[in-house]
Amino acid sequence: MSKKKKILLHSNHCRARTGFGKHMKHLLTYLYKTKKYEIVEFANGIQWNQPVLSRMPWKAVGSLPFEPDLIQRCNADQNMARTASYGHLKIDDIIKQEKPDIYLGIEDVWGLDGFWNKKWWKNINSIIWTPVDSLPLLDKHMEAAQNTANYIVQASFAKKALNEKGFNNVHLLTVPLDPNNFYRLKDEARESLRIKNNIQPNTFIAGFVFRNQLRKSVPNMLEGFKLFKKENPQVDIKLLFHTHWNEGWDIPKLIQEKGIDPSLVLTTYYCDKCNQYEIKPFSGQDLDCRFCGSKKSQQTAQITRGEDEVQLNEIYNFMDVYCHPFTSGGQEIPIQEAKLNELITLVTDYSCGEDYSSEESGGLPLGWSEYREPGTQFIKASTKPEDIASQLLSVYQMDKKERLEIGQKARDFVIDFCSIESVCSKFEKIIDKLEKTEWDFDFSYIKKDPDYNPPEIEGDEEWVIDLYSNILKVPNVNKTDRSGVDHWVKRLTTDLDRNKVLQYFKEVAAKDNNENSKVSFEEVLDEDDEGRRILFSVPENENDVFISTSLLKSIKESHPDCNIYFATKPEFFDLLNGNPYIHKKIEYNPIMENSSWTTGQGSHKGYFKFSLLPYFNTHKADNFSHADKNSLNYNIQYA
């Protein structure tokens, strides 16, 4: 066995052009260079056995399934496909295969939902590193923090909110950034870039780098710009929106609505043919490239195509000030990239913006008004346009020396707070304190007891430990669930009584039993009738289920050597009791409508000789598969 600790890191593939992908790239590279650990990357968005993963310097395995039956089921079930994209279908397999000492999940908390209820979670050192973008906290965040010994968030406001709920197991670590990739160019180079793009050297440019999502406050930014122009008509100022104009906000319509001269709003065009970019006013997509002469090759920047980091660094260097109005955010990496370019940043003073709008961060705060997001009830910020106009004027009126001094402060802040060296070295200290895992446990499920009622116990701590031990069946509670015990003791002294806590524990136990009592589809089928099975599916309702049984006698007489598996919803099983032609009742699943899955296709051999779906009377799906003359007659008779 290796003497090194084995770390399993789970998130987007490190080469994905996403925030999580960048996070993984920097963290994996740092840990790999220490030569202290055995590293395994579990890469979302990549199939388990994808050959490209073999070229990574560390071991890498994709989180998407490769098994044909699972792929078929994902193709037929959108919910399963979504959870598969987060690694849910293969997480247990990778844990069993690699037996890591430490598991690290870097993802939105809903992408890891339920992992903390798995048998292995508290038997190894499990860590979550997740963004939190709004208040109040989701119950899911608190549930995850309560069940995770080391919980990492990316912004101070999130750590403070969790601490106030009694969680003392929370660390603050941002997404690590490389300061070498973003820096201020010399004045001559900055001026040369402007001349190349037909922009006057003295034009004051306010920039905004963003994915064109509705939570990025584009209307507020444009309204603030409009106010600035109205109050300061003599100032030569332009906006630079580095984003894709064909998603999210209809920016041209907003510009027209607000009466802003379109020539004052610049954007970035990228050519797919020569890989050069151009800064100019927006005039549609698929433009001709003036550099290489290619026709219809220029489009505005997108996450799937566009500028590399060297070019993005140049784009920041067009700017004199950076402005980032938003409703909320987990970290908002462009803010830190702008600071590394020594730009003063104007940031909405909410959510992660609290860290980057302060004076010590080289930022200026933008005030906001509260509104609530429907459904979640999240507090969201509507940035005040008058603050945008006022802070733009503050920066414009600064002399060059003051701007440079604040800009240098901004860069120093990010290097100290967000750089690879700063962030990853702190994470290294966390994992170095963790002990190696003794892999002397199995993965068999221990059934919980939601019917347990505790005896009279005077002390709250002893009472909570009793719930963990006897309802959730957690061994060595003080060692494995100390943070959870502390959390519930605090809640009992603040906002909850024992009845509510007991009810919560029982609900968790019942849910866990239900999820873990499910058996695989293969386990439902008899082993000795392979090749002799018929699937007969009628999911509902009771009338259809009952009437459809009239077909079973002729099916069985025509195929006496075959066993009929009747698939329906469990609530209709009683209608089938005692039917002599049914071999076994099984729970209906929409995947059964897919004949390629039920009867096989290519390398997937399937489970049944043929399948019958008599509840279909349209061409929505095949009504039979691998059907002979007799099976065809059944469907005609039923129709």
The conformation of residue 288, written as its DSSP 8-state character, comes to: P
User: In the prediction, which pLDDT does 104 show?
Assistant: 98
Ramachandran assignment for 176, one of left (phi > 0), alpha (psi -120 to 50 degrees), beta (any other): beta
Residue bearing tokens 């106010």: 227
Residue 605 has φ and ψ, to the nearest 5°, of -80, -15
What domains sit in the chain, N to C, each tagged with a CATH number? 5-175+426-432 (3.40.50.11930), 179-417 (3.40.50.2000), 460-516 (no CATH), 521-638 (no CATH)
What does 393-429 look like in DSSP terms, one character per residue? Answer: HHHHHS-HHHHHHHHHHHHHHHHHHHBHHHHHHHHHH
User: In the prediction, which pLDDT does 480 show?
Assistant: 60
User: In the prediction, which pLDDT does 194 show?
Assistant: 97
Note the pTM of the prediction, 2 decimals. 0.74
Candidates 76, 42, 74, 125; CA nearest to 433 is 125
Cα gap 339→411, rounded to integer Å: 5
At 188, list the tokens: 């001559």
| Distance, first Cα to last Cα, the chain | 64
At 451, list the tokens: 């019917």
Instruction: Give SS3 for 39.
Output: strand
User: In the prediction, which pLDDT does 175 show?
Assistant: 96
User: In the prediction, which pLDDT does 136 show?
Assistant: 94
Residue 578: how many other CB atoms lie within 10 Å = 6
User: In the prediction, which pLDDT does 14 show?
Assistant: 95
Check: CB of residue 293 under 8 Å from CB of residue 332: no
The conformation of residue 435, written as its DSSP 8-state character, comes to: P
Q: Which residues of the chain have pLDDT under 70?
A: 1-2, 441-443, 479-481, 515-520, 602-604, 615-639
Burial of 486 from C-beta contacts in 10 A (0-12 / 13-18 / 19+): middle
What does 153-190 look like in DSSP terms, one character per residue? Answer: ESSHHHHHHHHHTT---EEE-PPPB-GGG--PPPHHHH
Cα gap 166→490, rounded to integer Å: 6
Instruction: Give SS3 for 135.
Output: coil
User: In the prediction, which pLDDT does 441 show?
Assistant: 67
Rg for the chain (alpha carbons), in Å?
30
DSSP count for the chain of H helices, then E strands: 24, 22
**Is residue 257 within a helix (H) or strand (E), and if so which, with residue range?**
helix 251-257
**629 contacts: CB under 8 Å, gap ≥ 6:** none
**Is residue 44 within a helix (H) or strand (E), and if so which, with residue range?**
strand 37-47
User: In the prediction, which pLDDT does 638 show?
Assistant: 35
CA angle 231, 233, 239 (to 5 degrees): 90
96-124 core/surface letters (b: 16 or more CB in 10 A; e: else) = eebebbbbbbbbebebbbbbbbbebbbbb
At 443, list the tokens: 């993965």
**422 contacts: CB under 8 Å, gap ≥ 6:** 176, 415, 416
At 265, list the tokens: 């709003």
User: In the prediction, which pLDDT does 515 show?
Assistant: 65
Helices (H), 437-541: 460-470, 477-480, 482-492, 498-516, 521-524
